Amino acid sequence: MIEIINQQHKYWLNGRKYKELLKRLTARYKLNNPEITLVFVDNRTIKKLNKKYLKKDAPTDVLSFPIGEKSTNGKFYLGDIVISVPQAFKQCFSQEHGLERELELLTAHGFLHLLGYKHTEGIEEEEEKIEDLFSDD
């Protein structure tokens, strides 16, 4: 099951779009219906999480929390992805694309971290391989 939670209220989001992207990603990597939670938050929330878990006292764009084990209901729980929508909004201008594309990129980036990809171990190359899964918007 893929769950999308929107905890920020400044930007309107089409949660279905990101749920479909995660479905395409799980199919690409041959994962059998894993549980994934994608949470959209504000900068204050992601800053707290970044400080608590990574000891960095600043907002960031995306955090991933890999679980990689069976949950109490017996399903495989891949993990959680948390994205700061205001941070994504700032970044989309320098990348010369819209907010929705930036959120897709961050969703995919977070998903790859759940699979174990690291910044020093080919995550950028893998991101290029999966760009065909993004919407055409």
What is the spatial distance between Cα 48 and Cα 31, in angstroms, rounded to a whole number? Answer: 31
Tens of pLDDT along the chain (137 residues) come to 899 999 998 999 999 999 999 999 999 999 988 999 999 999 999 999 999 999 999 999 999 999 888 877 778 889 999 999 999 999 887 777 789 989 999 999 999 999 988 877 777 777 777 777 776 65
Rounded to two decimals, what is the model's pTM?
Answer: 0.88
What is the spatial distance between Cα 87 and Cα 92, in angstroms, rounded to a whole number? Answer: 9
Tokens standing for 9?
């209220």
CATH number, domain of 109, equals 3.40.390.30
Query: 27 is in which domain, residue-wise?
Result: 2-133
How many structural domains comprise the chain? 1
CA dihedral 112, 114, 118, 123 (to 10 degrees): 0
